[in-house]
Amino acid sequence: MRHCFSLLLALLCPPLQAAQLTLDLGNGSRHWQSAELLAHPLAQDIQIDNDVSYKRTMHYRALPLAVLLQGVQADDHLQAIALDGFAAEMPAAPLLKDGPARAWLAIEDPARPWPALAKGKPGAGPFYLVWTDPQAGRISPEQWPFQVASIRRLAAVAERFPAMRPAPGISADNPVNQGFAVFQKNCLACHRLNGAGDAQFGPDLNLPHNPTEYFQAVFLRRYIRDPQSLRQWPQAKMPGFAAAVISDSELDALLAYLAHMATRKP
């Protein structure tokens, strides 16, 4: 009976299949199979305290991400695309550093799949970008993309999506331009603006209406800090952004950028 049950379980829950990671870094595409990465001579077992996605300590077989980014320079721009359409925009410099904040590609072993992120949800595999000592580099939760399918080198956001740019002539130290930087780091992975962007996850933040047009400022701040405090929705996917992630001054700048862009609809 026990043998029959085990056989039935194996038929109903087949083992996780090996996965493929695609790297397109400007010199042709390279495809890595999960087995190759798990067996890479520089792969090692690491511990991630307070994992952003699992909300607890996790252990992974992982590879320093910089090992895979051959030919990438510190002033380059990278984008990690997840299976669900999440598109993390990341400057290359932090990804290339060997510390104190260090980026790792965690690789899921098909024989030992990772747990589900929540009830009814998949796990973070097959590939997950994690960080050791992230506080040292002020690494945002949006810089922890999971279910990664590909990583590619692209032009900077402002070059690729001119519809997102503030009006010309605004100084670099103006809060509007500072807010544009905050937007790129924390919002662009999920949202488009003026129809521009690669994310497929959340709504456009300027079309048809900008949130500064229908939220009072105090409620918009509250929503960004803790979405569930403003309207409870069990299936909501937007995380809250604590002051440790977006400081009060950065939040001021982000709202200045959004309000400015409400005047720059196509």
- Tell whether the model's pLDDT for residue 139 goes beyond 50: yes
- Topology of domain 16-154, CATH: Sulfite Oxidase; Chain A, domain 2 (3.90.420)
* Those residues with Cβ within 8 angstroms of residue 168's Cβ, 6 or more apart along the chain or in another chain: none
Buried (b) or exposed (e) across 167-206, using 16+ Cβ within 10 A? eeeeeeebbbbbbbbbbbbbbbbbbbbbebbbbeebebbb
Question: Would you state the CATH architecture of domain 160-261?
Answer: Orthogonal Bundle (1.10)
Percentage of the chain modeled with pLDDT above 70: 92
In this predicted model, what pLDDT tens digit does every residue of 197-234 receive, in sequence order?
Answer: 988 778 999 999 999 999 999 999 999 999 888 777 76
CA distances from 8 to 3, 5, 12, 118, 209 (A): 9, 5, 6, 25, 52
Q: Where are the domains of the chain?
A: 16-154, 160-261
Residues in the chain: 266
In this predicted model, what pLDDT tens digit does every residue of 7-62 receive, in sequence order?
Answer: 433 344 444 567 999 999 988 899 999 999 999 999 999 999 999 999 999 999 99
User: Looking at residue 1, what is its pLDDT?
Assistant: 41
pTM above 0.85, yes or no: no
Name the region of 243 (left: φ>0; alpha: ψ -120 to 50; beta: rest).
alpha
In this predicted model, what pLDDT tens digit does every residue of 96-123 receive, in sequence order?
Answer: 999 899 999 999 999 999 999 988 889 9
One-letter amino acid at 136 equals A
User: Looking at residue 72, what is its pLDDT?
Assistant: 96
